Amino acid sequence: MLFVLSVVTAATSFETLYGQTDWKLEKDQDDIQVYSRVLKNSKFKSLKVTCKLQCTAAELTSIIMDVENSCKWVYHTQNCKLLKKLSPTELYYYAEVSVPWPVNNRDYVVHITSSKPEEQTTIINSDCVSGWVPLNKNNVRIVNSSGLWRIEKQKNDLVNVTYTTVIDPGGSVPTWLINLFAAQGPLESFKKLKLEVKNLHDSH
């Protein structure tokens, strides 16, 4: 873890809110950069991932919006279920994230919307929402999470991707777990995303 006006507004608000301080580079592998920064009045970090992918904006958007297939590439996602598809650019889905013992798994419901991939820059916004799925006593429900994809077209079917997110994992979470998901999680997700992109692009 996108109505065009609402997406643009969300993107502007997100960057205004979290764009005040410098990013710290945490990981740089396979042409994928992962940055973090501490948020004011919060114990959690904001994360940013940047990379270039050999695909079209439409291809990458289709992978992101294919939520039931996200178990293949989103870090530690145990299962993912489409709840309601309102249009090709707006849907709700449920996902469960497996977490090392003794911490409880996390789950969440996300509302995801996308601007049209035909535009020069595609914005995909994803926010956790309450309701939709009953609480699972064995899991901790994430209710405060925001994600923003910015997909910018380049020449020769190349896109420049920036993904920014803030996640409050809820419940009692040890520092080592926060750090694990803060840097390694995004890196591993984008490594697998690159493979998904390559397979889709090569098939076209």
* pLDDT tens string 75-127: 888 889 999 999 999 999 999 988 777 778 888 899 999 988 777 899 999 98
- CA quadruple 195, 70, 54, 145: dihedral, nearest 10: -130
Task: Give pLDDT, residue 51.
Answer: 95
Domain limits for position 127? 4-203
Q: How far is the CA of 118 from the CAs of 79, 82, 87, 121, 162, in angstroms?
A: 30, 24, 16, 8, 18
Tell me the pTM. Answer: 0.81
Q: How far is the CA of 191 from the CAs of 55, 133, 166, in angstroms?
A: 15, 30, 20
Which residues of the chain have a pLDDT value below 50? 1-19
Task: Give pLDDT, residue 180.
Answer: 60
Number of domains in the chain: 1
Task: Give pLDDT, residue 155.
Answer: 86
User: The domain spanning residue 77 has which CATH number?
Assistant: 3.30.530.20
Q: Is 60 exposed, middle or buried (0-12, 13-18, 19+ CB in 10 A)?
A: buried
